[in-house]
């Protein structure tokens, strides 16, 4: 069968057979150690400076950052942001954090909120995030029954809640954080998102908003 042929070819190439326990042990050790490789100095900073770096890098990636003093301000800030753009619908995730908010400011501005998967034609979504990575201004989100992945990709505008305390310096810290929460099995989808969708496939000219959201708004919460 293909599988055995392929594996045998490799074993022949590396001059080793299946009974080689040293090689097996080397591999097991690497898999269990989960050791860091070289981590650039850029984001190895005190947390306050990591936050500043996150903001700088996310801005560079064309994300829009709105700083809020408290998570309770998210509904009114969302309402304002949507209303300013003439958007009257918002699909949100239903994580505990999102559900705990008082969403009445949306209704006050005639904005309808629904909680479901995203559909083609949705104007805006709002989700929670798992972490922010300062190194490149990257958000980390993951799928769950409460947070469908389509919310991160189908709507034209994606609003994301990020707590300052969820900002880490480098990708490696995010992996440690995700292992701490989920153990050996990752959520089905882990999304690292750095700014809104874009393409330069036509004459190498950068255009924002290819297939994913055209804008990415980060509500950065001061907690």
Partner 1 sequence: MQINTPFFKQRASEALHDENLQKALGNLKAGFPEKRAIAVSRMPEFEDLRDQARDLKNHIIEHLDLYLEQFESKVTENGGHVHWARTSDDANKIILDICKQVNAKTVTKGKSMVSEETGLNDYLEKNGIQPVETDLGEYILQLREDHPSHIIAPAIHLNLEDVSEAFHKNHNRPKSDDPAVLMQEAREVLREKFVAADVGITGANFCVAETGSTIIITNEGNGDLTQTLPKTHIVITSIEKVVPTLEDMTLFQRLLARSATGQEFTVYNTLSSGPRREGDQDGPENFHVVLVDNGRSEMVGSEFQDMLRCIRCSACMNHCPVYGAVGGHSYGWVYPGPMGSVLTPKMIGIEKGGMLPNASTFCGKCESVCPVRIPLPKLMRHWRQDEFSKHLQPKAARYGLAGWAFLAKRPALYKTYTRMANWFMKHWAGKKGRIEKMPLAGGWTDWRDMPAPQGKTFMQAWKEQQKNGGSH
Shortest approach of partner 1 to residue 26 CB, angstroms? 7
Distance, in Å, from the CA atom of 28 to the CA atom of 32, rounded to the nearest integer, reads: 6
Distance, in Å, from the CA atom of 49 to the CA atom of 31, rounded to the nearest integer, reads: 32
Shortest approach of partner 1 to residue 80 CB, angstroms? 26
Distance, in Å, from the CA atom of 121 to the CA atom of 7, rounded to the nearest integer, reads: 47
* Residue 15 burial (C-beta neighbours within 10 Å; 0-12, 13-18, 19+): exposed
Shortest approach of partner 1 to residue 138 CB, angstroms? 6
Shortest approach of partner 1 to residue 19 CB, angstroms? 12
Is the CB of 107 or the CB of 117 nearer to partner 1? 117
Is the CB of 9 or the CB of 222 nearer to partner 1? 9
Is the CB of 70 or the CB of 184 nearer to partner 1? 184
Is the CB of 71 or the CB of 160 nearer to partner 1? 160
Q: Which of 135, 147, 123, 161 is nearest to 50 (CA)?
A: 135
The H or E element spanning position 113 is strand 112-114
Q: Which of 71, 74, 91 is nearest to 156 (CA)?
A: 91
The set of residues, in sequence order, having a beta carbon less than 8 Å from that of 142 and lying 6+ positions away, is 130, 178, 186, 187, 189, 190, 191
Shortest approach of partner 1 to residue 205 CB, angstroms? 5
Maximum separation of any 2 CA atoms in the chain, in Å: 71
Is the CB of 79 or the CB of 130 nearer to partner 1? 130
**Cβ pair 219, 77 in contact under 8 A:** yes
Is the CB of 86 or the CB of 121 nearer to partner 1? 121
Helix (H, G, I), strand (E, B) or coil at 170: coil
Shortest approach of partner 1 to residue 94 CB, angstroms? 10
Helix (H, G, I), strand (E, B) or coil at 214: coil
Shortest approach of partner 1 to residue 198 CB, angstroms? 5
Is the CB of 105 or the CB of 148 nearer to partner 1? 148
């Amino acid at each position: 069968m293909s599988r055995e042929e392929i594996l045998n070819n490799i074993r022949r190439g590396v001059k080793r057979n299946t009974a080689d326990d040293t090689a097996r042990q080397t591999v097991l050790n690497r898999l269990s150690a989960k050791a860091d490789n070289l981590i650039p100095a850029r984001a190895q900073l005190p947390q306050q400076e990591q936050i500043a770096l996150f903001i700088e890098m996310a801005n560079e990636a064309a994300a829009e950052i709105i700083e809020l003093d408290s998570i309770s301000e998210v509904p009114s800030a969302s309402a304002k942001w949507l209303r300013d753009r003439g958007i009257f619908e918002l699909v949100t995730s239903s994580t505990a954090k999102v559900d705990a908010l008082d969403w009445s400011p949306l209704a006050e501005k005639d904005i309808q909120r629904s909680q479901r998967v995203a559909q083609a034609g949705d104007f805006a979504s709002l989700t929670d995030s798992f972490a922010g990575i300062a190194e490149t201004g990257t958000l980390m989100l993951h799928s769950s029954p409460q947070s469908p992945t389509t919310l991160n990709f189908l709507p034209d505008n994606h609003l994301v809640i990020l707590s300052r305390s969820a900002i880490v310096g480098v990708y490696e810290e995010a992996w440690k954080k995700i292992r701490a929460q989920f153990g050996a099995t990752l959520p089905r989808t882990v999304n690292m998102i750095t700014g809104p969708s874009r393409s330069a496939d036509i004459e190498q000219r950068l255009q924002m908003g290819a297939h994913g959201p055209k804008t990415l708004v980060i509500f950065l919460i001061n907690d």
